[in-house]
Amino acid sequence: MARTAIVLGAGTGGIAAANEIRKCCEKNDRVLLVDRNERFLFAPSLLWLAVGARRSKEIQRPVRELVRSGVDFLCGAIESIDPASRTIALDGRSMSADALVVALGASLAPESIPGLAQAGHNFYTLPGAESLRDALAAFQGGRVLVLTASPAYKCPAAPYEAALLVDAFLRKRGLREKSAIAMYAAEAAPMAVAGPAISAAVVAMLGEKEIVYAPNRQILSADPATNVVTFADGSSETYDLLAYVPPHRPPSALAGSGLVGENGWIPVDRATLQTGFAGVYAIGDNATIALQMGKPLPKAGVFAYAQAKIVARNLVEEWRGRAALARFDGHGACFVETGGMRAAMGSGNFFAEPTPTIALRPPSLWLHLAKVLVERRGLGKWPFLWR
């Protein structure tokens, strides 16, 4: 009997899941990949774009060029999801499947902070990274403020990388002595899930570059007319250039689906990524896995990719009437670009108890090149690695 799998979302996890299902399933089975965008954006490279190290076209590919033969890609807006019947509404059409893989990522909501969208540059989007690039190109010195607008966000290293890359950019242009850089974080410590040693190492990296670091500073509003940011503790800061990570929200398609928990994200089994509904899985940023330490597993592409492989193999095994044996083990790694073609890397077991066991390798050219290799894979430059 022919089966159908629908993968919702053509990000890193969604593309990997669709390709792996297609690889493992029978020829007469159908694999559908759905997304509202026809082009895939390799989001980690937005940081390089923001400092002029990449062009926009270099970090994007048409989704159809990244999927295996036999994966049907549909571009459209997902209006609703009914996990009980494994049915979705796509641009007014109803579609059902034997398995659903929900990989819709996280939505960005800069508008939830008054004035923020108008005051600065959201480098988590292509337009925002492009505007930051242009602003840096015209910058002649002054106060640069990098901030996180909420304590939980995807790619936990990214804002700290942004501050370090801006530092390197200004040094290269001979503007660092005319500039001050400050990193204001809503969270208590950098990459806190990885543990205090990793947090301290990242703070030290900022200190070495004379980047001011201020944790636990929750932004309340920004005023683009006066270039002033106001924080919840009553303090305020001025800036000449503002770059920020916006608040994150669950995708609107999840509303009313019955999939989400109290926090708005989809709780899943940590080993299988199974939701509370048979044949429905969630991977990547829209899923949440609670760790024993009380924090959730970080939202990061490395986890979405690994989870995709697990889900794909297990659901095909279930279609064949066999036991699902693959398990997501919580291992992952994260690069920290420090500028000057150097990067550090934290890696280890995030499922270790009572706390994750993560080690940090110091910055080196080799780790920077390793990150470039990951980018090449993510953009399908070596299809055998993607597929």
Q: Is the pLDDT of residue 382 over 60?
A: no
Domains, the chain, with CATH or none = 4-106+250-327 (3.50.50.60), 109-248 (3.50.50.60)
* Residue in 194, 196, 184, 276 with CA at minimum distance from that of residue 230: 184
pTM for the full model?
0.94
pLDDT digits (tens, 9 = 90+) for 126-175: 999 999 999 999 999 999 999 999 999 999 999 999 999 999 999 999 99
- H helix or E strand, kind and range, residue 158: helix 158-172
Q: How far is CA 371 from CA 196, 247, 259, 337, 347, in A?
A: 24, 26, 34, 9, 13
How confident is the model at residue 324, as a pLDDT?
Answer: 84
pLDDT at position 383 over 70: no
Q: Does residue 387 have a pLDDT over 50?
A: no
How far the first Cα of the chain sits from its last, in Å, is 25
Q: Taking residues 68-87, report their average pLDDT.
A: 96
Looking at the chain, the number of H-run helices and the number of E-run strands are: 9, 25
pLDDT digits (tens, 9 = 90+) for 327-356: 999 999 999 999 999 999 999 999 999 999
What is the mean predicted confidence (pLDDT) over 370-386?
78
Average pLDDT on 214-242 reads 97
Cα 44 from Cα 26, distance rounded (Å): 34
Residue 96 parent element (H or E):
strand 93-96
CA–CA separation, 164 and 183 (whole Å):
10
Summarised one tens digit per residue, pLDDT across range 114-129 is: 999 999 999 999 999 9
**C-alpha triplet 330, 331, 337: angle, nearest 5°:** 125
pLDDT averaged over every residue in the chain: 96
For 267-315, the pLDDT digits (tens) are 999 999 999 999 999 999 999 999 999 899 999 999 999 999 999 999 9
- Return the structure tokens found at 195: 């543990």
pLDDT for 37-65, tens place per residue? 999 999 999 999 999 999 999 999 999 99
Tell me which DSSP letter residue 36 carries.
S
